[in-house]
Amino acid sequence: MDGIKTKTDVADDNYELSSIETREEPTDISLYGGQRVGHNLIKNIGSHIKSTLLYYKKRLSDSLVNNTERVPFKIGARGIKQVNKMYLTPVAPKEKLKYITSGSFNSIYTTADNKYAYRITTDAINANSEEAQELVLEMLLTVRLSKLGISPKIVDIFFAKNDMRSGNNTHAVMITEFSKYGSLSNFMKLEECTLHRIPELVSQTTELYKKMIKNKVFCTDVKPGNMLVTKSYRLYLIDFDDQFCASKESSIFTGEHIYLYAQQLAKLWRPENKHSEEIVNKGFLGLNLLQTGVCMLIDNIKNEEKFYEYARRLVTNNIAFTKEDLGSIVLCSYIPVSADYNPYMILKHYLIGMDPPYTFAGFEISDDPVTIIITSYLLCALGEADTVLILRTMSEKDDIIKVADRGKFPVFSPTKYWDDKKKPKNIKDKKQEMIDELRKKHAQKKPKTIKNKNQKMIEQLTKQLAQIKAK
């Protein structure tokens, strides 16, 4: 289509680096996929990363079109034969790989010495399919993030063909350093993960998301299950599916697309605000942190304090409960990262599901972005019981709040209603505080023009206050 680049066009634009040369020499695994890069070509980290990407792009394309060599293996078995038999790699195993686990799309294996992990797509695909091209872009993005220290170190990536005679015989293979503790979700359930480790885990999580966003990678399916913990307790991010990420590798939306969307939405929110990049960085960071916190609490089956501490610190250390911070998060929640998804849809999925009726802690709840984001914040900051208490207090009727039906939302700090030493005594006191706060705000920002409009706003506000007080 005119004006729209194909997947191949995008990939070529991003990695057309004719000035960079590589030599076909085997090397130590500390270098890049068995490829030694000439030191005279490495002028800075940027050129180093580009040369690595160029090498892997060629390796992926060559292995994808190779129809002459096939190896017998079956995904899902407790052990599989060497899938990299046809491709010499620095870590070619002498024994069968050990099965670890399977997700929705990939199966994970490890070498007998537990040094390296093999991520192999569970279902075979056609090498000529659109899905294969999407996998190429996802793996190239993973390589780039690996070089930036965001993802685990990549040892090798390629496509392997099994001995099936059908066209669907191609599996993507990614070899990385093995992470001892698996996902962060799994690590949090271990006795080795104690409360005193939580601050460092929170700090690492925050810095990883900041670094990812700084490099114009905007992902929505972030969660503890997509984070790995090494034996030295270092965190890494994984799983950058093209459907859930916008980046320069993406076939759909790039980081620049994200800023353009934000710029247009920001004009609707605050016409005078021209800092769309700041809004995007703050908004997507907030979305990533909220979703990670919500998913962490969902994983907390045993109701352990360390899960709540992680979610609380993650959110309250980085997001202020203000119009500016929450406004940026709400705005960015509308921005699509692919043709199918935006951040709001994914956060909603984890918080209340995708099918009505929508409930939170047994109460009906609106599924609009404002409600979802505010509820997610309060859940992480205060826990479920106090979230329900505050939302009921803020509601115009004796039910869970539906922000979309209320118009403007009175922004306040949760610490006003909660601290470790003193909880609010009862709902009546809270309602009176809200009435006083609304009156104070109205008095401070009393309109001076457009009399008819002002009078209508005053009448509406007075009615709202009367309804709240009556309850």
DSSP per-residue letters across 18-62:
TT---------TTSBTTBPPPGGG--SHHHHHHHHHHHHHHHHHH
Is 60 exceeded by the pLDDT of residue 12?
Answer: no
Domain boundary among 128, 158, 177: 177
Please check whether residues 93 and 110 belong to one and the same domain: yes
Please check whether residues 317 and 284 belong to one and the same domain: yes
Please check whether residues 226 and 369 belong to one and the same domain: yes
The confidence score (pLDDT) of residue 449 equals 45
- 237/268: higher pLDDT: 237
Q: Is residue 1 part of a domain?
A: no
Closest CA to 120 of 187, 175, 60: 175
Which structure tokens are listed for 5? Answer: 């680049």
Please check whether residues 19 and 148 belong to one and the same domain: yes
Q: What is the pLDDT of residues 407-419, one digit of tens each?
A: 443 333 333 333 3
Alpha-carbon span 422 to 346, nearest angstrom: 35
Q: Is residue 419 part of a domain?
A: yes
Domain boundary among 134, 155, 177: 177
b/e 87-112 (16+ beta carbons within 10 angstroms → b): bebbbebeebbbbeeeeeebbbbbbe
Domain total in the chain: 3
Q: Is residue 429 part of a domain?
A: no
Q: Which residues span the domain enclosing 257? A: 184-424
DSSP bridge partners of 99? 109
- 456/207: higher pLDDT: 207
pTM: 0.75
Which structure tokens are listed for 166? Answer: 């059908």
Is 60 exceeded by the pLDDT of residue 404?
Answer: no
Please check whether residues 222 and 313 belong to one and the same domain: yes
- CATH number (domain holding residue 106): 3.30.200.20
Q: Is residue 100 part of a domain?
A: yes
Q: Is residue 434 part of a domain?
A: no
Please check whether residues 150 and 190 belong to one and the same domain: no
Domain boundary among 177, 192, 213: 177
Q: Which residues contact 226 (CB under 8 A, 6 or more apart)?
A: 183, 237, 238, 239
Please check whether residues 377 and 362 belong to one and the same domain: yes
Q: Is residue 159 part of a domain?
A: yes
Closest CA to 249 of 465, 91, 56: 56
Please check whether residues 261 and 297 belong to one and the same domain: yes
Please check whether residues 240 and 379 belong to one and the same domain: yes
Q: Is residue 432 part of a domain?
A: no
Closest CA to 279 of 268, 290, 292, 263: 263
Is 80 exceeded by the pLDDT of residue 65?
Answer: yes
Q: Is residue 433 part of a domain?
A: no
Please check whether residues 67 and 200 belong to one and the same domain: no
Please check whether residues 162 and 196 belong to one and the same domain: no
> 339 falls in which pLDDT band (50, 70, 90)?
confident
Please check whether residues 262 and 304 belong to one and the same domain: yes
- 5/274: higher pLDDT: 274
Is 80 exceeded by the pLDDT of residue 399?
Answer: no
The confidence score (pLDDT) of residue 167 equals 85
